[in-house]
Structure 1
Amino acid sequence: MDMIFVVLIGAVAAVLANRNIAVFNDGLRPIVSEHIEGKLSRRELGLTAFAMSFGLVIGFGIPFTLSASIILIHSILLGTDIIGILAPKNRWGTAVAALIGGVYGWGLLAGLEGFVKLFDYLPVNFLEPMGQVGDPVVVTFMAFPALAVALQFSVKKGILTFAAAALMRQLAVFVNEGEYISIGGNAVAINQEGMALIVGMIFLFAYAMKQKPDGDSSIDLASVFSEKVKEIKKNVGFFMVIGALIAGATNMLLMAGDPISLNLLADGNQTDAGIAAAARAIGFIPLVASTAIATGVYSPVGFTLIFVIGLFSPNVWIAVVLGALIIFLEVTLLNYIARFLDKYPGVRDSGENIRSAMTKLLEVALLIGGANASNAIAPGFGFFFIAGFYLLNEAAGRPIVRMAVGPVGAIAVGVIANILVAFGIMSIPQ
């Protein structure tokens, strides 16, 4: 059943990309729109998709998938973006895209199981230390609303947001340690990072909703791009299918929508993962909605609420039904969301700032996590390698995105450590 879900997700996502209906890479959506309008050839689109997504699959999606033995959605959907767009846009091309997309999904899941077993035969099994890559991410995630506020409004307001979030976190720790909340005589622990995140998001949206349109600066997105919205609505059936599949796979703990919830799932914290996924989804609604409305190209995961549905549903079949329903509602409400974003331009603009804040936070957290994992694999050498790897990557113009330096570096240290042990140059770390 696991394999059926993953294969179908790969096949359907590749078809959506092939038919120019939906792509996962946010930056690719406007480029697909250029191709639809005849401004970009299919070959140029394919090369662009490969250049934009291949590095993220290898350097971002796959390392996280390996570190937690849970598929990070980026590793499958960025790959199906490439597969679908490189295949010709005709009847045979669509069938080929579906076939290769399904095989790719199968290979990802089957290969994952093989990789996990392979680590047991290595002199230095670095799979467990790889889990440390994501440890700082969970703790530092609560800071992203403060950074988004600082980027969009002012550093002063960002500091105020950060202070309020930090205070809430410590209050939650105090309440948990004192066991002040109980149900039926049993102490209930509240998630301190989750509470801090909620406070930060409240500050962010409170500031954003205070920002009003300046005179005639507001643009009626729904009316300007009505034809593009109609095109998205026409394909709502496709979105419901893939939404149902991804929600079901998430409920089965086969995949996660982001590194934060993935690491929480790896630690067995499904409720906390759902809260983190919800916060991310709320923050990404302005970005996904505005790019979809402007380009006529949707995301196969919609507003990412399907991951929240999957994590909080009691079983896989309820997740499947609700996943299809939530995607249907998202597409149906696109016009209303567009009008809301026009009414509150601060909320519309917050989408890009939230994305930037998350990216910056993940760059720092994953570098720290990668350094810690590398040092656990090869004490001393690990810190040295990550520092050198980061600096040389910067000097070379960042051929590897900063976010991927930590995870890729940790994998490289694991490979090097095994080679050194095999040649007797290094002893097996205790």
Structure 2
Amino acid sequence: MLLGIAITHDLRHRDENDIDASGLSVFEERTSRIIKNLPYIAIVGALIAAVASMKIFAGSEVSIFTLEKAYSAGVTPEQSQTLINQAALAEFMRGLGFVPLIATTALATGVYAVAGFTFVYAVGYLSPNPMVAAVLGAVVISAEVLLLRSIGKWLGRYPSVRNASDNIRNAMNMLMEVALLVGSIFAAIKMAGYTGFSIAVAIYFLNESLGRPVQKMAAPVVAVMITGILLNVLYWLGLFVPA
């Protein structure tokens, strides 16, 4: 739906021949960089698909619980295969939903995601053995990389799609930052109540005031780790007694 809204917006606010040439050239340059590393990407895709077919690896949260049921004891082969098919379909649909985000990220940075569009997970689940999975995984992820140039040219015509993907990516990063901050604060409170809270917050804001020598996403975790060390030192010195 978001993709359709973005395309409709661009079609309404520009002429038919108005194409972002600078965006196309940037995408072409970044795509060429990715294609140069295609052999390594193919190897990674082959390994991911092979491991997924060995029933010891799940791709994402949409398939992990279904696969856990499929691989558990007491499940008949027919039931197991049905659950595996469901997991593969869910993984495939998830991959389709993230194609614009993953593609624009790769085209904007020149770095391809480890699992590509994540279709290699579904390939691994459905493959009869690791050898077949490895071959199919390499083929699928290679096809994804080779299609990036066409995807880049298409996205170059619709800047709103790129902007929407950037906003989604930024929102995901902000969500992770907030989640880590809240989780770290609760961990500090669990360790030493308001004393732990005060120390962790002081360390976090010290990092902010110093210009973030530790990046924002990692700062809360580092702060709570340092808090734990300081609390142990204070306890050893007799200056802190746990409640």
Q: CA deviation at 1:235?
A: 3.8
Q: Is the 8 A contact 2:19 2:156 kept in 1?
A: no
1:393 is matched with which residue? Answer: 207
Q: Which of 1, 6, 10 is the matching residue for 1:212?
A: 10
Residue 328 of structure 1 pairs with residue 169 of structure 2 = no
Instruction: Decide whether aligned partners of structure 1 residues 209 and 228 sit closer, same or farther in structure 2, where only a CA change above 3 A counts.
Output: closer
Q: CA deviation at 1:241?
A: 0.6
Instruction: Decide whether aligned partners of structure 1 residues 331 and 280 sit closer, same or farther in structure 2, where only a CA change above 3 A counts.
Output: closer
Q: Is the 8 A contact 1:284 1:355 kept in 2?
A: no
Deviations 1:249-290 (A, max 9, x none): 677459x89xxx6xx99xx89x7x969x85666523212134
Instruction: Decide whether aligned partners of structure 1 residues 393 and 228 sit closer, same or farther in structure 2, where only a CA change above 3 A counts.
Output: closer
Give the residue type in structure 2 aligned to 1:239: I
Q: Which of 238, 254, 273 is the matching residue for 2:40?
A: 238
2:112 is matched with which residue? Answer: 299
1:376 is matched with which residue? Answer: 190
Q: Is the 8 A contact 1:309 1:319 kept in 2?
A: no
Q: CA deviation at 1:245?
A: 3.0
1:127 is matched with which residue? Answer: none
Give the distance between the partners of 1:244 and 1:326, measured in 2 at CA: 9
Give the residue type in structure 2 aligned to 1:240: A
Q: CA deviation at 1:321?
A: 4.4
- Aligned pairs, how many? 212
Q: Is the 8 A contact 1:281 1:305 kept in 2?
A: no
Q: Is the 8 A contact 1:285 1:351 kept in 2?
A: no
Give the residue type in structure 1 aligned to 2:143: L
Instruction: Decide whether aligned partners of structure 1 residues 247 and 410 sit closer, same or farther in structure 2, where only a CA change above 3 A counts.
Output: farther
Instruction: Decide whether aligned partners of structure 1 residues 246 and 370 sit closer, same or farther in structure 2, where only a CA change above 3 A counts.
Output: farther
Larger radius of gyration: 2
Structure 1: 5+ residue stretches without partners: 1-201, 293-297
Instruction: Decide whether aligned partners of structure 1 residues 343 and 416 sit closer, same or farther in structure 2, where only a CA change above 3 A counts.
Output: same
Instruction: Decide whether aligned partners of structure 1 residues 220 and 339 sit closer, same or farther in structure 2, where only a CA change above 3 A counts.
Output: farther
1:169 is matched with which residue? Answer: none
Give the residue type in structure 2 aligned to 1:353: N
TM-score by length of 1: 0.40
Q: CA deviation at 1:310?
A: 7.3
Instruction: Decide whether aligned partners of structure 1 residues 338 and 281 sit closer, same or farther in structure 2, where only a CA change above 3 A counts.
Output: closer
1:24-423 alignment, distance < 5 Å = 202=1, 204-212=2-10, 214-215=14-15, 216-219=18-21, 229=31, 232-246=34-48, 252-253=56-57, 278=95, 282-292=100-110, 298-299=111-112, 301=114, 303=116, 305=118, 309=121, 313=125, 317=130, 320-423=134-237
1:124 is matched with which residue? Answer: none
Q: CA deviation at 1:247?
A: 5.1
Structure 2: 5+ residue stretches without partners: 70-86
RMSD, aligned CA: 4.2
